[in-house]
Structure 1
Amino acid sequence: MAGTVVAATVLGLFLPTFLADPYLVTVLVRGLTLGLAGLAVGLLNQQLGLVSFGIGAFFGLSCYAFSILTTRFGWGPTAAAAVALLGVIALAALLGAVVVRVKALSFVMVTLAIAQAFFVAAGLAGLKDLTGGDDGLLVEFSGELAGLRQSDLLDPESAWPLVWTVVVVVVALTAVMVRSRFGTRLRAIKQNEERMRYSGFDPYRDKILVFVVSAAIAAVAGVLQALTQGLASPDILGFHLSGNALVAALIGGSATVIGPMVGGVVFAFGQSALSDSGNLQFFVGLSLVVVVVILPGGAVPATIRWTRSAARRVKDRLL
């Protein structure tokens, strides 16, 4: 695992040199940011069988918190990022103590309601001086984050090493958690929560913890959004972002930690190519039908199955 993480980090740092067009790096950064939000959705689905439509709330709150602290109050980017992440984690712990008690269908509706509540709050006229209202809030700050100034972070090629390193670290830590005893307990809770309770475990505590981890991943993506896009807008708080994150998780495959990242990149490049056609939503719906029918479980799990099947056929012929 450690060797894979180091190799992926080093090789990924040189990726922009192979992309002739800087715009491709911009789309790639957006895709990875969406992929992190998709990973947050996929983690809950993979481990607990729950679908969250509230990921946009944690994504957007961290983005807004960072933007408000730096732009309105003059905080440095490092302190603002830390407070934004810690604030979202604390809020997720409070909300998780309530929402993880409900059943799967109710969980979908409750998380959607939470996201929509924050979406409406961001556009209130009374908070316009703080949030920018429906127009959103342009991020402005002085100082450096990881040796990068704001002008560097808004340049995708300059910001790429930071973005890639953060993505690799988050994905690696998520993979470790999924393969740990804690991850095994979560999957057991997904299969039979009552049996786990009677076996002496505390499903309630574990469900809150994974809910907080999912929110933290979304919060990291939200801070990256503020750093690399320089804008916090209300649409990232509502169903729009949460829906796109879910689509990314479904396309790539929520059963793996890599799947949502692949799905996010595919979605971003598809959005870039088809946005001018006026038929983006049609192609999104069509792609979901294709994934469900032809690639059940997502593109990454299907690729793994095909690769293993081909390897077995080659081995059988050689032997």
Structure 2
Amino acid sequence: MPIAKGYAATDASQPLAPFTFERRDPNDDDVVISIKYCGICHSDIHQARNEWGNSRFPMVPGHEVAGVVTAVGSKVTKFKVGDHVGVGCFVDSCTTCASRDLDVEQYMPGLVQTYNDVEADGKTPTFGGYSDSIVVKEGYVLSFPENIPLDAGAPLLCAGITLYSPLAHWKAGPGKKVAIVGMGGLGHMGVQIGAAMGAEVTVLSQTLSKQEDGLKFGAKHYYATSDQSTFEKLAGTFDLIICTVATAIDWNAYLSLLKVDGTMVLVGAPEHPVPVHAFSLIPGRRTLAGSMIGSIKETQEMLDFCGKHNIVAQVETIPVSQINEAYERVLKSDVRYRFVIDMASLA
């Protein structure tokens, strides 16, 4: 089996540390990728620290994987050595159930996550992108447009698709008023993508500290939610609100900002339950919904869309040795807007 190097969490209470492990042998439908960059997602922190209660150790996190193809199996037709490719949040899924035809495999049984999971054989652990290489089935490898650099493109594979999918599903576009709650790694992608779709985008952030950036990314308006008058001014304004924050906020207050038949979509997952009052929904026939990443087909669609509109993540590139420091900075919102690990630093 090929030997890989990376960084792993060996226990929920311990910092990530260097880790050597075995990748599975490539099959004839596999693509072997030399990982060049991997983004740091807030969910990596949740899982490395077992905050969702389902962590498997040792764990090599990372599902915003960008690299270069170094080998392909004999049955691979879509990729060749040298191609710039990515791997997102899952590396296998149900291939037989009828629901796959709906291009929503991320919601189906049989989904195999890129890390903190086991392969379809039920025993081989999956290890993620905080490493120097990965072996993935051809059908779960994504192609980067030529104008998208690997470092700034890596976060598109989670942050990008996490916002693109609900914006597309709820038909953000001309004539639609869309609010993005939170101006972080997810939020800054939502502003760019929503604006490129033609929607009128408003940022709702705790403070105005990132207002200049929000407007530069394409937002038409920017409000501080720490100012109670914001909720009075904007009551009944939005067709769609996408909430990216992973902390407990008053969802009822944000629901009041929706128009009749408006929808608030959760993509950030707070650690603890958040109460929702029935009368935050009933009088306006409002909907509170959730959304999780996107299918492989939709993720490729998102990458092509970002290539067409020159949309990338705003990143701070770090060596692998700074992962633990980066985790703490993410928790303090001390990054604009996504950390990306340079895997060349593993050497």
TM-score (norm 1): 0.31
* Structure with the higher helix share, 1 or 2: 1
Q: Which has the higher contact order (CA 8 A, sep 6+)?
A: 1
